[in-house]
Chains A and B, each alone.
Chain A
Amino acid sequence: MREALEGSLAIARAVTLARPDVVAAYPITPQTHIVENISKLVADGDLHTEFVSVESEFSAASVVLGAAAAGARAYTASASQGILLMSEVMFNIAGLRVPLVMTIANRSVGAPLNIWNDQSDTMAVRDAGWIQLHCSTNQEAVDTTIQAFRLAQETELPVAVNMDGFVLTHTMEAIDMPSQEQVDAFLPPFEFAGALDPANPRSLGTLVDPDWFAEVRHSHHAALGKALERIEQIDAEYARITGRAAGGLLAVADAPGAKVGILAMGSVVGTMLAGREDLGAEAGQARIIRLRAFRPFPARALRAAVEGLEKLVVIDRAISPGLGGVLGTEVSAVLSTMERAPKVYNFALGLGGRDIPETRYAEMLALIERPDAPRFAVLDADLEKLPPEDR
């Protein structure tokens, strides 16, 4: 049923529909409303789960690790420094191949202290071995959260659902909440073959020496690769039940005869679509590619999506200082095997919550037509504010 809901409340209700056995979380801006709402749903008797209040994100991640390893459907949520405090446990969760779901309400990482949205937090744990999905609307965040529970248990991998802090978490908009019957038809009860069982004792997390470590890593890499297909299948299955897909690995909003593309993850995609609409058809429109799966990275789907483009702008909401944009660098790498790869221009936008106006769409398209266009830039940084030696 369509309702006007704040993103965080909608996520709390989506988690409720998934019938988690255990929820453990520590509040941090801008994830707080998700946890508050889950706590309230539990207190009101609308969500029957073991809600564990913990003293830190390290414990939150440890509790859900233990819960899932014991065979429980487990959920947590965090952001920013909370993700960094979890990071050691996040590597363990994935390395132990424990299926669970986490929402990341994306926020910058300090210093300098900043509570606003970018995607530095999730990029800091890029290599933890989780499935990482990105949402551009609250509808996608709701649908992806429910899908994530099934994806986790079918792949035996943890899934992080990224939604932009404030821009999505604190935005009220119309959201079609699936019914409990639909979610029950889509999401079977939690089953985890690797769960610890006193009747059949096993060890989890033992020392792995050089004779086996490479094989474990290879297998983990292969498991993420195999998840590509599952992400698409599960999205299609969800669409069969609810009438609505969330974008598979990536979604293309094409334009007739497009020679230029814009690729991005998260809520900035909507703003780019609005910028394209404003500019009208005469200006020559860009193909807009919304990347939903960041890990596993859908190299083949991406190469197909950029086919025919001469130039591709990749928007990054996080940077790797000393290199450039994280997403832009990865996209360049996977396109390098193409016969005719588009030339990639990588622009970081909206770091630390800098507002991204729709006019950036036209600005970026104009910029890349210039011969001196930078291949990487923090595009909305006002260099006049900096001393000359830092520009």
Chain B
Amino acid sequence: MIEFRIHGRGGQGSVAAAYLLAAAAFEAGFECQAFPAFGAERRGAPVMAFVRIDRNPILLRAQVRNPHYMIVQDDTLLQIPGIAAGLRPGGAMLVNSRRPADAFAARFETRVVTLPATDLAVREIGKPIPNTALLAALLALTEALPQEALAAALRGRFHGATLERNLALIETAAGLVEAGAWKEKHDA
């Protein structure tokens, strides 16, 4: 099983990202589970969402406490004490930021990759919604699922110009990170 935790702010599409990642896993033939940890929902407030991917049916319904991978959709969230709590040894964190990974890596003692996903999203889709670019980069880094599975998940959720622009965005974003840098043997 591979476990993911997505951190973002209300309005950035963190729950949508979790659903897209789960849908992509389903498209690739995996069992999947995605759910939010809702607080009192409002724009800008910190939110979390969880994803599990497995070859076998997923029985567990607890929140993800020990993710293999984290996506952080807003680098200001990294100021929250304990945000990376439970990240597995050997795990990794993908951060939406204009700053280089070195700016965060030392503080978190884990592998960090940054991607200016909001800038990419504004350029490609005209909206500051970084979620799909980050998902594409995560899949490129981990090679946990093929990019085509994410494209299929996007086709299930969007259509028309929004779909076309997001498909272009994920292709761009996937090309900006080192393919397979986080590739590992998972039991998933």
CB within 8 Å for A268 and B38 given contacts A4-B22, A172-B32: no
Q: Across the interface, do A174 and B62 meet the contact criterion of CB distance under 8 Å?
A: no
B172 at the interface (CB under 8 A from A): no
Complex Cα gap A171–B19 (Å): 9
Complex Cα gap A304–B18 (Å): 42
Complex Cα gap A257–B23 (Å): 40
Q: Across the interface, do A6 and B32 meet the contact criterion of CB distance under 8 Å?
A: no
Q: Across the interface, do A271 and B32 meet the contact criterion of CB distance under 8 Å?
A: no
Which chain A positions have C-beta within 8 A of B27?
A: 4
Would you call the interface of chain B mostly helix, strand, loop, or mixed?
Answer: mixed
State which size class the interface on A falls in: 20 to 34
For window 22-37 of B, CB contacts with A under 8 Å fall at 22-23, 25-27, 31-36
**Chain B residues bordering chain A, tally (CB within 8 A):** 22
Q: Across the interface, do A357 and B33 meet the contact criterion of CB distance under 8 Å?
A: no
B161 at the interface (CB under 8 A from A): no
B103 at the interface (CB under 8 A from A): no
For window 102-130 of A, CB contacts with B under 8 Å fall at 115-116
Q: Across the interface, do B33 and A171 meet the contact criterion of CB distance under 8 Å?
A: yes
For window 1-54 of A, CB contacts with B under 8 Å fall at 3-4, 6
Contact with A along B32-55 (1 / 0, CB 8 A): 111110101000000000000000
How many Å from the CB of A137 to the closest CB on chain B?
A: 9
Which chain B positions have C-beta within 8 A of A356?
A: 61-62
Chain B residues at the A interface, C-beta cutoff of 8 Å: 18-19, 22-23, 25-27, 31-36, 38, 40, 58-63, 65
6 shortest interchain CB distances as A-B pairs: A4-B26, A274-B60, A171-B35, A270-B59, A274-B59, A172-B34
Q: List 13 A-B contacts (CB under 8 A).
A: A4-B26, A166-B35, A171-B61, A172-B23, A172-B32, A173-B22, A173-B34, A173-B58, A174-B31, A271-B59, A277-B59, A355-B62, A357-B62
